[in-house]
Chain A
Amino acid sequence: MAINEIQEEIISEFEVLQDDRESTIFYIMELGEKLPSMDEKDKIDINLIKGCQSKVWLITKIYDNNVYFRADSNTEITKGLISLLIRVFSGQDADDIMNANLFFIEKIGMHQMIGSQRSNGFASMIKQMKLFALTYRELNKHKKFNAHS
């Protein structure tokens, strides 16, 4: 499914919650619980995202030229938030990730709900995921260039 289609799907899921703050938080926590835990061996400092109040570990893998993410956090809400990003980004093309306009964030009222500190952390997660995509694309370009020369 394309990035924008997934975003539309998330928006419609959140509409059911009718802006009820508590229900929305509980829902995000449920999403967090459903996100498979990361291997303990990957929960190391080098995989931590800087700029988050809670701990968020993020790793990436490439299959068939698409970028896949796995993440974990020590708080359920943060885990739920990153699970949304994983749903949107994981398995997508690097260019699509880099160029994605994440309109679902505003549509589901994320900033009002999670406050400025967690919003900054959320922005750091997005930045890190896009950075992984960029790194992969640049490496790939380099490989192609080397292969042709």
Chain B
Amino acid sequence: MEDPVIQYSTRFDVQAIRSIFPLLDQEVNGYPLAYFDNAATTQKPVSVIEALHDYYTGYNSNIHRGIHALAEKATEAYEQTRLAIQEFINAPEKEEIIFTRGTTEGINLIASTYGKKFLKQHDEVIITGMEHHSNIVPWQMICDETGAVLKIVPVSVTGELEMDELENMISDNTKIVSVVFVSNTLGTINPVKEIIKKAHDAGAIVVLDAAQAMQHLDVDVRDLNCDFLAFSGHKMYGPTGVGVLYGKRKHLEAMPPYQGGGEMISEVTFEKTTYNDIPYKFEAGTPNIADVVALKEAVYFISNLGKQTIRTHEATLLAMATEGLKEIDTVKIYADHHHKVSVISFNIENMHPFDAGMLLDAKGIAVRTGHHCTQPLMARYGIEGTVRASFAVYNTLEEVDRLIKAVSRIATR
């Protein structure tokens, strides 16, 4: 379903965008909601919500192997999303698209299958100091199990990767480099193409945690030449509980299955089971059909609008927020540089981020506070957490102005 207002608009009209996000039109604590928690999850356009409704009211049925009309329709809708995702990330083959519950499951899948099969003692896995816990813990677990060593690329004071350190770290022992494409806490866009090149030169594979990239950046897996890419639907205007893992065919075929069950098999006898081909080998059990179906609408929403349009608007919001917050003496901004998506992490002097978040909430402004599941990054800055405002395409300059004024009021109370 394509919204005509969006599709045929040549000029960016944020009010038109807002009109297709029903949730935004509400008051919180007596103020119009200003939703700046988009890096945690974005709101959903009406096309995504209607797709869920249409699925459950029109053709809910278990997919594959069904011979009746509804099963056919559901299967087709499910597989259409696979094609839409293939196009969205420019993957060579649709079989390289695996549906997961989200980025976390995608990374766990790689660690527990590829990692388990190919890592051995003294091999090295490289991650960075700005990873989300979901790109730390699965690697710690598999390193513990296999005897491989986990190495960490440090983060500079400006919130960027120390690329020289990375270069020194990569060696013949490096087997996997798993990097966050865009930092969820700082918004920093990492030079992943350069990292992939360096890793490949050393014979290592690269996993990209793209949870915060898909909604802002052009992501082309062929151009990047990454081995794996994991992301979540709900951070790119799609439903919760669905994500995507892209993997190169040669890797996916070499990997053992992740979970056993229905769908992932070719033939089962009590003596031996042969596994299904990719992608089904990695999609055991009845998948999250409805959310996969609705995810396609989120892809269409982004593609119809165009990522360049999204980025231009978000960059304006970020620039205004950065300038405004910088003028407040007691505000400290983390990662104030230009290789960023629309995320701003800050603290107010002598105020815990929880307290600041609660005071902003009292004014109808939703931000995230705390460590953002990046405790090692917080430790690097010697802080417990930050206040994070993350902007999406439906946010307005007026809302950012409210944020600046509210922070200013709190900071000077």
Listed in ascending order, the chain A residues whose CB lies under 8 Å from chain B are 21-22, 25-26, 29, 53-54, 74-78, 114-115, 118
Contacts and interface: CB of A to CB of B under 8 A. Distances in A.
Contact of B362 (A21, A54, A74): A21
A29 B354 contact: no
A29 B413 CA distance: 11
A53 B359 contact: no
B354 A77 contact: yes
Interface string B18-32: 000000000001100
Contacts of B359: 22, 25-26
B355 interface: yes
B413 A25 contact: no
A22 B384 CA distance: 24
B413 A77 contact: no
A29 B362 contact: no
Contact of A54 (B29, B30, B352, B413): B352
Q: Is the interface of A mostly helix, strand, loop or mixed?
A: helix
A54 B30 CA distance: 27
B198 interface: no
Contacts of A118: 358
Given A21-B29, A26-B413, A76 B352 contact: yes
Contacts of A26: 359, 413
A77 B353 CA distance: 11
Nearest to A21: B362
Contacts of A78: 354
Given A21-B29, A25-B359, A74 B384 contact: yes
Given A25-B358, A76-B352, 7 more contacts: A21-B29, A21-B362, A25-B359, A74-B384, A75-B355, A77-B355, A118-B358
A54 B363 CA distance: 22
A75 B29 contact: no
Interface in B248-292: none
Contacts of B413: 26
12 contacts: A21-B29, A21-B30, A22-B363, A25-B359, A26-B413, A29-B355, A54-B354, A76-B351, A76-B352, A76-B355, A77-B352, A78-B354
